[in-house]
Structure 1
């Protein structure tokens, strides 16, 4: 049986520190972008998610050398990566809010998932792939919105407008006339009476 890993620098040395440091830097860049946009999960959340995922991978790859015996005990580090993917969904689900037709936090949850993936890649020693995904993330969040606006610049947008008003005062007629005067096309009108407590 191999000796304890407590002072074995082969499993607690520069390669492992480089894996953790690369996760720290790359996930901090992802978190900084979210922080600058004022999102719920910002710099600290994304950095800690990525760093934690990286540490789980490093421990999975290097942390059990003292209990392995050739032909008797074998470990599969890829199982930890699968558990990180499942576990991060718990955090992501807590960031998504649905109110009626409005969904908020979906992109932030996806970015937390990407941070975990970058951390996992760095922890597995694939920091070049982690760096590529970080750069791809920055490309998506900064370059895609203007590109999407440019591609859809001639498409007409449809918007629902909800107006509350007192009945029998001609307010709805005025709202519709004003909308048409300002160049909007009205495709449909639906009204519902709301009962007020007296």
Structure 2
């Protein structure tokens, strides 16, 4: 059997060492993203780091086993591309909410495990599967604990949006006023959208560049907008959108 023929204890040790460092370093990057309430957080970054390490290790092992023959490596490259399309289909975006990133990253890791198994590297496949499972199980309590902590406004990089509801007749003037007040407060506007709100009103959404804000400053801006003629309501909120 090829699986027995390809068994190499020294290579397995190298695999474990490489995946341990990929797991730790990916978790470090993901921890910072998780604390800042980003969409791709601890588990997603760890899974991607582990999956990428597995594919690189697989390519290296196949190159050694087949004496420099590039054929099997090309097949692995096609597998990676196919998994990318499959993972993209698992990611869903609804408004400011993005779901399915962990599922897509897990598919990436599962594809790497399957590629190792298909190449006859059973030991590597088992080790890879253990690291993918660890990323999804051992890190879950850490993610839950971080998510229960209050958001640190100074450290966060959330996306802030100012909403203004006004009459249809005054929408142009209110839009210019909103941009003017935000820029005066040193919060430049990245994008402005507007859409109907009820029968006679318009909702203006002014999205700011990802940054940390002072809540009191945005409160003053929305208060000034509410005092503007034609405005019925003004408020702001934040989200973890990238």
TM-score tier after normalising by the smaller chain length: 0.3 to 0.5
Larger radius of gyration: 1
Q: What TM-score does the superposition give when structure 2 sets the normalisation length?
A: 0.37
Task: Point out the structure with the larger strand share.
Answer: 2
Point out which structure has higher relative CO (alpha carbons under 8 A, 6+ apart).
1
